[in-house]
């Protein structure tokens, strides 16, 4: 058989299999959409594009680009609209010997448990400009801030049971300083905080297309709804994984392992005994590189991740005990 004829024959044999695979992928996407629809809004992609633009120069604290990011997020909080504690969204703080940062904090009232709060965090700072390159931080963490804003807009349309505090935290990259500052100047009693949901790096899943839900491993009422979501939601855009932060070490790349107890702002909530869920991907080739640009955001993965963040919130808004401990 000639090579050309062989390849044609092989292609004909492969057609039914390819069709079956395409149908399976479509069925998976349809199932995922039914259970947890992607949050594909015009604002979602616009927000990540703006925050990761060269104009914002990598959002390093105490730079002009960082100030522009702060102004943009503050404007978006007002547009949602969210309410402000003490008449302002802006909460400046100091850290270390000379560090200065600014958290951006807003809230929305719940319909049933208005005196208990779910805190949603996403850090907006990144690495700035160094070595002649802008570190735009599209995935880390313009994507998380954009997803948080999209979630806030959804909750404005359909108010939640619990009240919700939204925090765009600052100086996370330098040591979770914004989260620590939040607890130094709490707008509500610590005992009124029922849960932290942290969103960090949801714009692409690297080579494995994996999004992780990481729970604190202590509060059993968190695991059941997350397990149900994991078992139900998978699509051709992403694979959803569930991890226990107390296991500490999970493989991220062939040469890198992460201590999930300290990986992002949720760690500070965990130290205070507050239940937490972290939503984010593992590290990938663009992590902390100049290549972490909007061009490397995976739109399908990103919109599905934002939808999963929405589903996680809705599930836990219902599942939280009236007085969690």
Rounded CA-CA distance 27/121 in Å is 33
How many CB atoms are closer than 10 A to CB 306? Answer: 29
pLDDT digits (tens, 9 = 90+) for 104-155: 999 999 999 999 999 999 999 999 999 999 999 999 999 999 999 999 999 9
Fold of 35-319: Aminopeptidase (3.40.630)
Average pLDDT of the segment spanning 19-39: 54
The burial class, CB within 10 Å (0-12 / 13-18 / 19+), for 208 is: middle
Which of 6-20, 176-190, 247-261, 311-325 has maximum average pLDDT? 176-190
Q: pLDDT above 90 covers what percent of the chain?
A: 74
Could you tell me if 173 and 294 are in contact, meaning their C-beta atoms sit under 8 angstroms apart? no
Rounded CA-CA distance 14/53 in Å is 43
Residue 13 binned pLDDT confidence (cut-offs 50, 70, 90):
very low
pLDDT digits (tens, 9 = 90+) for 176-192: 999 999 999 999 999 99
Q: Is residue 296 scored above 50 in pLDDT?
A: yes
Q: What mean pLDDT value characterizes the chain?
A: 87
Q: How far is CA 308 from CA 57, 116, 150, 301, in A?
A: 29, 23, 12, 10
Bigger pLDDT: 12 vs 57: 57
Rounded CA-CA distance 234/239 in Å is 5
Q: Is residue 2 scored above 80 in pLDDT?
A: no
Domain boundaries defined on the chain: 35-319
Residue 200 binned pLDDT confidence (cut-offs 50, 70, 90):
very high
Q: What is the pLDDT, as a whole number, of residue 260?
A: 54
């Amino acid at each position: 058989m000639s090579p050309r004829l062989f390849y044609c024959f092989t292609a004909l044999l492969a057609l039914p299999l390819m069709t079956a695979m395409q149908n399976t992928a479509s069925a998976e996407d349809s199932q995922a959409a039914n259970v947890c629809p992607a949050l594909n809004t015009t604002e979602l992609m616009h927000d990540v594009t703006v925050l990761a633009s060269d104009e914002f120069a990598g959002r390093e604290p105490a730079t002009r680009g960082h100030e522009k990011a702060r102004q943009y997020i503050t404007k978006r909080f007002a547009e949602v609209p969210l309410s402000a504690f003490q008449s302002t969204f802006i909460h400046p703080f100091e850290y270390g010997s000379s560090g200065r940062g600014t958290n951006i904090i807003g809230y929305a009232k719940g319909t049933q448990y208005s005196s208990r709060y779910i805190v949603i965090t996403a850090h907006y700072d990144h690495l700035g400009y160094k070595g002649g390159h802008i570190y735009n931080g599209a995935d880390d963490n313009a994507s998380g801030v954009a997803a948080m804003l999209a979630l806030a807009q959804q909750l404005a349309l359909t108010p939640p049971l619990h009240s919700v505090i939204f925090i765009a935290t600052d100086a996370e990259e330098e040591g979770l300083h914004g989260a620590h500052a939040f607890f130094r100047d709490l707008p509500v009693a610590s005992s009124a905080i029922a849960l932290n949901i942290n969103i960090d790096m949801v714009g692409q899943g690297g080579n494995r297309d994996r999004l992780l839900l990481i729970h604190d491993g202590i509060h059993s009422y968190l695991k059941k709804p997350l397990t149900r979501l994991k078992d139900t939601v998978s699509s051709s855009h992403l694979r959803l994984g569930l991890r226990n932060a107390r296991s500490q070490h999970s493989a991220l790349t062939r040469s890198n392992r992460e201590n999930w107890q300290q990986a992002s702002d949720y760690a500070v909530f965990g130290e205070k005994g507050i239940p937490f869920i972290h939503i984010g991907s593992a590290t990938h080739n663009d992590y902390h590189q100049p290549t972490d640009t909007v061009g490397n955001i995976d739109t399908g993965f990103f919109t599905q991740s934002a939808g999963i963040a929405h589903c996680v919130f809705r599930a836990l808004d219902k599942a939280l005990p009236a007085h969690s401990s």
